Amino acid sequence: MEVIANTTVISNFALISRLDVLMNTVKVCTTDQVVEELKACIERGFFKIDIEIEIAEIGEEEKDTFSKLKERLGKGEASCLAIGMHRGLNVLTDDFDVRKFAQRTGIPVSGTIGVLVKAVEKGIISMEEGNEMLRKMIEKGFYSPIETLDKFCWSENKK
């Protein structure tokens, strides 16, 4: 499954130096607008990104949608939603307003927790590793609605 990731999800994994889990769990792309936001975080010393992420350019048919969305949302969010909407990509974001908009308009949406759950289900990480990663993300400022993945994972990888 190809997904387009917003700054929030990428930064959560970057903050704990585990972008590898994100990249190995789903086929990820992002936008130039998100890269700009990530570069600002890197310049401020929040994290490093040592993995190359595919960039999806905003096409002609997506430009109008992007322009309308960026009146209400940030450039990163607007670019991901516009591309997700036009190309049928799932959007990865933890931003509440973006998730609400995506759900209202029928764009499949998930976030950091969804990626962690999928990583456990695919056997990329154990349940224990997923919970530890989530704990570290929360320590770094992720406003998670849950403290553990336990009730979301029904995998043999709960070890």
Nearest 5 degrees, angle CA 5-CA 129-CA 132?
85
What domains can be seen in the chain, in order of their start residue? 2-112 (3.40.50.1010)
Q: What is the mean pLDDT of residues 64-85?
A: 94
The gap from C-alpha 66 to its chain's centroid, in whole angstroms, comes to 18
pLDDT in tens, 75-134: 999 999 999 999 999 999 999 989 999 999 999 999 999 999 999 999 999 999 999 999
For the entire predicted model, the pTM comes to: 0.90
What is the rounded distance in angstroms from the CA atom of residue 56 to the CA atom of residue 85? 13
pLDDT, one tens digit per residue, over 9-22 is 999 999 999 999 99
DSSP type of residue 43: H
